[in-house]
Structure 1
Amino acid sequence: MTAFQLEFGLFEDNPQSRLPTVLSAFATPKKIAFTTVPIRSAFDKGRYEYLTSEACFRVLSREEASRSDDADSSGSSAEDSGISLADPVKVNDKADKPIILFPFTPDDSFAVAEDATRFVSEVLLRPTNSKPIAWFHMPIYGNQPPATPSKFPSRTVALPEEARSAYFYWHRAMVQTRYSSYLSLALELHATEDTVARDRWLSEPVSCIIIPISLFAAPVPLPARLSVFHRATIHSLLQWNQCKIMVRLDEAVTAAHLEACLDHLRREFSKDLPYVPKRRHLSPTMQPLYYNLCQSEYSGFEEDLVKYDQYEKAVGAALGHLRVTRKPIASAGDPAGTIEEEKFIVAVLGCGRGPLVSSVLKAAASIQAKVKVFALDKNPETQAILKEKLVTVWKDAEVELIYADMRGWRPAILLDIIVSELLGSFADDECSPECLEEPEKLLKPDGISIPTSYSNYLEPVSSTRMYRELRARSFDSRQQMRVFGWYRTPCLKLAAEEKRVLTFFQGPPGKDVKVTLRETLVDFVAVTDGVLHGFAGSFTADLYGGFTLSTVQGKETPGLFSWGVIFFPLLEPVRVLAGDQIQLEFRRCGDLFRIWYEWRLRSPRSSPMHNVDGDALEFPLYFSD
């Protein structure tokens, strides 16, 4: 993780008339840099570089200001260190990139979206070295009074229930420009404090946060500062976006108040923030049957101590249950009335570099149970580490290493417990049911498979950030249907809760675990307006004895991070309103060589079936040659 340097600026509709006077009255001179901000105007092809311009002011960071102060002391000119208004710049100017700012005009949204489309095709897609930045100026709440004279959003009157107007206005532009990665948001805050309206923007790409100066408390008698809600809002946006912060001025602003506001922003938000520029939020789903995991992937999994702690407790509960149910009775011919305690046979399937083996041994030691452990893995990358642990960490335990595919392994004795960690982000997407079908035939009639069952869940979500990244990764519509996982990226949840889709049970023979086709309909009711980009998948796993693992929101296992959430996208996003019925048809298909998922939306609008016959993504059951 790397930090970035925040840029603080001043924003005004008509800066030439007011702002230079305010700045010149600063008690402590500030070094100001100017960036031209063209606004939307009628333009013809080839003449985009002459857009009407207004000025945006960027306050230099403390480091830049100190360097400027050093330059001043060494004899810099007044023109270098003073305040001057920059001339309008052309798009290919080598100075600061101009910002094309599309204003929020609800009555003319289609025209603005068309202008944005022309701008993307005629300006941003041209093969030039310097490209301008394009922002849509959006209020965090929706419609504004029609009498507002400014061409920009009002900072005084808005209602939370009107939020969908600006939200859908922005998404109309996204659809028109085919979710262009060149466009982002300049989001203007409002005095109303409503978390629902705020949270819908957290999944959108925000490049600038505009703060009306009226949101700051007056500097007398208290220091100028934002409310707790607005500070939390800005921190949430900065966590996932590399933003500029701008203060929007009004006619009543004074130099003292403005300086106090900027000082508050520097103190509150200039700290290092955990953001990686151009961060990828999606990652391909893992397919360990198709390729071998590398050492770095194993290292990442082994850092999740919560997962192994839950497994250890579940194994301890299973051993305790078997000990009680199989408690031997003293033989009449035994004068001491004792008999040797049973040794339990445990197989750890897909043991990787051995953390689950250690969990089994710790569980047995905690209840003083005797165990023999078969540690089985097919990956040659793990063999050296397993052999080293056999003579070091496990030297006092009875552990036997097996290098083979679990589906072809045939031990000479039956097993008491099978322990496996073959769960994917959607529970069964790493083919756990198919992998365990043969090994579970090796269990004794009262044997236990850990986990005993697992279920996957889906919920409808909206996220321009993820959907746009998915489109950027896809060179055709078939590739766009690939399933990706993501980790902790915020999205707008369109339904009240996740719905269970499929459940798989593991255990001794007799339970139906071999199913080549599972099909179900999943129904949701939209609780908020939004744009449906796809469905988020998560899972719960019942290990044993009440010990579980879960990535389902509201039921998450605290501290668990081995799994993210899986994303099933729609080819074309669908607009939904609160109260709409959302119905998804979902299938898990398979044959002798692979499994795959198919899905299609049935309401509020029908979509074609996605990933038919695994055309975009399949999960092979055998290793790639």
Structure 2
Amino acid sequence: MASPGSLDAESESFEPRPFFTIGQHDSNRRETLTDDHYRHILNSGFHFATTPITNDHFKQRVVDLYKSFLKEREQWGLDLSNQSLPGPVVSTLTDEDTNYGPGTYVGSLVAYCSPWIDLCSSNPLIASISRQVLNLELAYASFAGARNIIIPGPRRDDGNAAVVRYARAVREGLQVASRINIIIHMPMYREPRLEEKAETLSQLVGEAGAADPGKEQEIDIFTSWDSWHTIRSVCDYAARLYVALRIPRRVPEKVLQGRWFAEPLYYLTVGAEIFQKNPAGYPSLSRHHQELIASYMRFRNPPSLLLSDVGPDADAFANQMALEFPSLAEASQALKENRRPTVPMNPYVSYIKHLERSQEPFSALDTQSLLSFQDWLQSPLQPLADNLESATYEVFEGDPVKYNQYELAIAKAMIDWREQKLPTAQDGTNSDLVVAVAGAGRGPLVTRVLRAAESTGTSIQLWALEKNQNAYVYLLGMNKRVWNNKVTVVKTDMRGWEGPKVPGYDSLISKVDILVTELLGSFGDNELSPECLDGIQRHLSQPHGISIPSSYTAHLSPIATPKIFADLSSRVTGTPDAFETPWVTLLYAIDFVAQKVPDHPRFQQAWEFSHPVGLLRADEFAEEAGMAAKYVPPGVGSMYGSSGANDHNTRYCHLTFVCPTRGVIHGLAGYFESVLYAPHSGKEPVEISILPDQIDRKSKDMISWFPIFFPLKKPMYFPQDTELEVSMWRQTDDTKVWYEWIVEAYAWVGPKTRLKVGESELHTSRNVGCRF
């Protein structure tokens, strides 16, 4: 029998954990791996390896080209600063320049561009030659069948013009290699003595100062991220552009870890210098490094670990070859001892494998089905306009936490009703508590109401309302098979229901004591819960009628989410409103750019809805017009062309978020909380929440709702000490509801002075509003 926490997938106790894909990178490798060498690396425990595209012969040819060009121009007495003169042209690759090419393993090798090219050089000749070399290598690697290509990142961040030159070259490279991924090798931050060791072309031709990193007096941990942000912005957030992030010896503060967490990570590179020796003399990582890697490996598609300069080296390969091809005497002795030559697992790989086995199992929120939803955009449901499929209902019903909380709220409401000796809606004819489940779907709340009534010993009269004719059929079957015909099932839109009939007196219509609904969306009100409850709450008995939920609040926080922005950018052609649609998504690869400070939390409440509402504006308008509540003539309400009958459900908020460090935002993350029932005894209310800092306390492991995302058409970069001001409206024209939002950035430039440094467009989801 497997032990607890077994990794055996056939075991009942199998607990899935993140899987580590481990690659090998040798910064001193000058030639492409042979088949035997690559097999040796795989036998050492690695899953893949990097390989250079060109060799030292090609590098020397480029150096000689530059030097001969200068010498020739000097002999001719030409002014090298004359930009009209033709520059050096790197001729095409030859078989002497590379031994990389199509082969058995080429698709499994990661091509690594020459680290000596200097795309950032201020010397236009060197920059031009470097760009030509990059294009030649990218084109040839693409021809050979490479799937991924790593380009060493800029050596410095202090010259923005240099980084822009680099970024422009990468953008061109994406066109040259149009079918493969390009990964930029970047440090998490510029840690001293942890830069690329290879000499650049500038240094090779005697211009060392052009790429000399110099001595930093003070480390700004965000400069490397700034350079990456410039590169991907110039490249328009290309979907094939990724990061290979070099892990530093000293793990930085959480704010920088979170910044990189949101980026499209393809590799995490860990050099030999990062490892420490444990008491037994084997390599290991510090606790901080372990935690950082663990957090980065929980993605649906986690980055691979690229171990740099940890072996096996050339000597080990030669020794292994001797083992694999022994002398006749050695082979004879091996046969006598019944043994086969084996390749010992690389000690660094052994440690990483140990680290993999020690990972925490995936939680209830990290199941394979949920992992597939990470940062995957879904249009919000339109439950009033559309009839949901059975599979959609089934997904909702798969969350026991939500229904447990609902059952607890219903039970407490029933206990309170009895303890306070409140009259029922049908006192005098029937003493049963009248309960209605509006929008019953396939009936999970109906089941919970019956369970709550049984556990509290409450006699009830239960009504289940559902407008979806298909779900109505299912409810009828449930009533016969499961509920023992204890429920009155009605096919109706809850807003048009005439009310519960008194048993034995079909002509008498009574009120409802407890109204139960699950109309909440990811932003609380985005699936029209307020509008639906407006149409049915008139049936609640007064003054004791209870609505479950009784209130819900919407919350916002500005976030950086480059992956989602890139996804939306690719959709604009076919979906013109992509950037003005509030998307439901399991936000994961994100960075919360705001910090929690007094009076300005990271998550701030936008607005609230409470039920029942004492004043029904729609009914008042109808009464004044002398018409049925379903029709009110158009006029000039808060939105032109509307009567204003739904104006009481409009909302507005203006929120200020504090951002001490510089960064970028791509939109707003939306969440909700709800008080299902607040006991009259003053005890803890029964709540549900999807707020990241509250969900564990109020409804741990609840998965029924993903957050909602309000995108910005253009990323907004902001400096340090910035305040982001968010304005949002919930709008209506009496036929649908939509949101409008705008973000402004103000930087503090003095003790009492703010300067506006950015502003988004006013976004509106009117074209995709939720119809009612």
Asked if these proteins are the same fold (TM beyond 0.5), I'd say yes
Residue deviations 1:83-141, cap 9 Å, x none? Answer: xxxx9981332433361404133145544444444544x45346x8x733311111112
Q: Say yes or no: does 1:187 pair with 2:245.
A: yes
Q: Distance in 1 between matches of 2:89 and 2:537?
A: 69
1:312 counterpart SS class: helix
Aligned pair in 2 of structure 1 residues 452, 565: CA closer, same or farther (>3 Å)? Answer: same
* Structure 1 segment 43-54 matched on structure 2, within 5 A: none
Q: Distance in 2 between matches of 1:515 and 1:124?
A: 52
Q: Distance in 1 between matches of 2:260 and 2:523?
A: 26
| Corresponding letter in the other structure for 1:391 | K
* Structure 1 segment 65-144 matched on structure 2, within 5 A: 90-97=140-147, 99-105=149-155, 106-120=157-171, 122-125=172-175, 131-142=179-190, 144=192
Q: Which has the larger radius of gyration?
A: 2
Q: Distance in 1 between matches of 2:412 and 2:530?
A: 23
* Structure 1 segment 23-42 matched on structure 2, within 5 A: 30=44, 35-36=51-52
Q: For structure 1, which segment, 228-237 or 201-210, has the greater mean C-alpha deviation from structure 2 after superposition?
A: 228-237
Residue deviations 1:330-358, cap 9 Å, x none? Answer: xxxxxxxxx99821111101111000011
| Corresponding letter in the other structure for 2:498 | R
Q: Distance in 1 between matches of 2:759 and 2:387?
A: 36
Residue of structure 2 equivalent to 1:15: 29
* Structure 1 segment 138-537 matched on structure 2, within 5 A: 138-142=186-190, 144=192, 150=198, 162-196=220-254, 197-218=256-277, 221-240=280-299, 241-249=301-309, 259-269=346-356, 281-326=376-421, 342-395=431-484, 397=486, 399-411=487-499, 412-445=509-542, 446-475=544-573, 478-495=577-594, 496=596, 497-507=602-612, 509-510=614-615, 515-537=648-670
Q: Distance in 2 between matches of 1:27 and 1:487?
A: 38
Q: For structure 1, which segment, 254-263 or 589-598, has the greater mean C-alpha deviation from structure 2 after superposition?
A: 254-263
CA shift at 1:606, angstroms?
Answer: 4.7
Aligned pair in 2 of structure 1 residues 136, 596: CA closer, same or farther (>3 Å)? Answer: same
Q: Distance in 1 between matches of 2:266 and 2:451?
A: 50
Q: Distance in 2 between matches of 1:521 and 1:88?
A: 49
Are the equivalent residues in 2 in contact too, given 1:376–1:401 (CA < 8 A)? yes
Are the equivalent residues in 2 in contact too, given 1:141–1:158 (CA < 8 A)? no
CA shift at 1:218, angstroms?
Answer: 2.7
Residue of structure 2 equivalent to 1:549: 688
CA shift at 1:205, angstroms?
Answer: 0.6
2:276 counterpart SS class: coil
Are the equivalent residues in 2 in contact too, given 1:447–1:508 (CA < 8 A)? no
Residue deviations 1:178-237, cap 9 Å, x none? Answer: 111111000000121335122221111111111011222237723222233323322332
| Corresponding letter in the other structure for 1:500 | Q
CA shift at 1:321, angstroms?
Answer: 1.9
Q: Distance in 2 between matches of 1:438 and 1:49?
A: 74
The runs of 4+ residues in structure 1 deviating greater than 6 Å are: 1-5, 17-20, 26-29, 38-42, 44-49, 51-56, 145-148, 151-155, 157-161, 250-258, 270-279
Aligned pair in 2 of structure 1 residues 146, 548: CA closer, same or farther (>3 Å)? Answer: closer
Q: Distance in 2 between matches of 1:465 and 1:606?
A: 22
Q: Which has the higher strand share?
A: 1
Residue of structure 2 equivalent to 1:597: 739
Q: Distance in 2 between matches of 1:146 and 1:355?
A: 58
Q: Distance in 2 between matches of 1:353 and 1:49?
A: 67
Are the equivalent residues in 2 in contact too, given 1:461–1:532 (CA < 8 A)? yes
Aligned pair in 2 of structure 1 residues 372, 251: CA closer, same or farther (>3 Å)? Answer: closer
CA shift at 1:160, angstroms?
Answer: 11
Are the equivalent residues in 2 in contact too, given 1:203–1:463 (CA < 8 A)? yes
CA shift at 1:284, angstroms?
Answer: 1.8
Q: Distance in 1 between matches of 2:41 and 2:570?
A: 49
Q: Distance in 1 between matches of 2:419 and 2:720?
A: 54
1:193 counterpart SS class: coil
Are the equivalent residues in 1 in contact too, given 2:737–2:769 (CA < 8 A)? yes
CA shift at 1:490, angstroms?
Answer: 3.5
Q: Distance in 2 between matches of 1:620 and 1:148?
A: 57
Aligned pair in 2 of structure 1 residues 145, 345: CA closer, same or farther (>3 Å)? Answer: same
Are the equivalent residues in 2 in contact too, given 1:38–1:99 (CA < 8 A)? no
Q: Say yes or no: does 1:618 pair with 2:769.
A: yes
CA shift at 1:383, angstroms?
Answer: 2.2
Q: Greater RCO between the two (CA within 8 Å, min separation 6)? A: 1
CA shift at 1:469, angstroms?
Answer: 1.7
| Matched pairs, number | 577
Aligned pair in 2 of structure 1 residues 187, 415: CA closer, same or farther (>3 Å)? Answer: same
Aligned pair in 2 of structure 1 residues 215, 135: CA closer, same or farther (>3 Å)? Answer: same
| Corresponding letter in the other structure for 1:93 | F
| Corresponding letter in the other structure for 1:36 | P
Residue deviations 1:493-542, cap 9 Å, x none? Answer: 11222010010011154377852532221111114332111111101100
Q: Distance in 1 between matches of 2:572 and 2:468?
A: 31
Q: Distance in 2 between matches of 1:181 and 1:366?
A: 54
| Corresponding letter in the other structure for 2:29 | P
Are the equivalent residues in 2 in contact too, given 1:53–1:88 (CA < 8 A)? no
| Corresponding letter in the other structure for 1:610 | L
Aligned pair in 2 of structure 1 residues 14, 194: CA closer, same or farther (>3 Å)? Answer: same
| Corresponding letter in the other structure for 1:444 | S
Q: Which runs of 5+ in 1 are unaligned?
A: 65-86, 330-338
Identity of aligned residues (%): 25
Q: For structure 1, which segment, 172-181 or 481-490, has the greater mean C-alpha deviation from structure 2 after superposition?
A: 481-490
Are the equivalent residues in 1 in contact too, given 2:673–2:689 (CA < 8 A)? yes
TM-score (norm 2): 0.66
TM-score (norm 1): 0.80
Q: Distance in 2 between matches of 1:168 and 1:48?
A: 34
Aligned pair in 2 of structure 1 residues 169, 532: CA closer, same or farther (>3 Å)? Answer: same
2:268 counterpart SS class: strand
Are the equivalent residues in 2 in contact too, given 1:204–1:463 (CA < 8 A)? yes
Are the equivalent residues in 1 in contact too, given 2:740–2:763 (CA < 8 A)? yes
Are the equivalent residues in 2 in contact too, given 1:148–1:154 (CA < 8 A)? no
Are the equivalent residues in 1 in contact too, given 2:33–2:51 (CA < 8 A)? no
2:222 counterpart SS class: helix
Q: Distance in 1 between matches of 2:27 and 2:767?
A: 49
Q: Distance in 2 between matches of 1:96 and 1:46?
A: 25
Among 533, 558, 568, which residue is 2:700 paired with?
Answer: 558
Q: Distance in 1 between matches of 2:703 and 2:373?
A: 22
Aligned pair in 2 of structure 1 residues 551, 3: CA closer, same or farther (>3 Å)? Answer: closer
Q: For structure 1, which segment, 358-367 or 188-197, has the greater mean C-alpha deviation from structure 2 after superposition?
A: 188-197
| Corresponding letter in the other structure for 1:449 | S
CA shift at 1:443, angstroms?
Answer: 0.7
Residue deviations 1:535-560, cap 9 Å, x none? Answer: 11101100102000101121112011
Q: Distance in 2 between matches of 1:369 and 1:361?
A: 9
1:540 counterpart SS class: strand
Q: Distance in 2 between matches of 1:55 and 1:277?
A: 40
Q: Distance in 2 between matches of 1:29 and 1:322?
A: 71
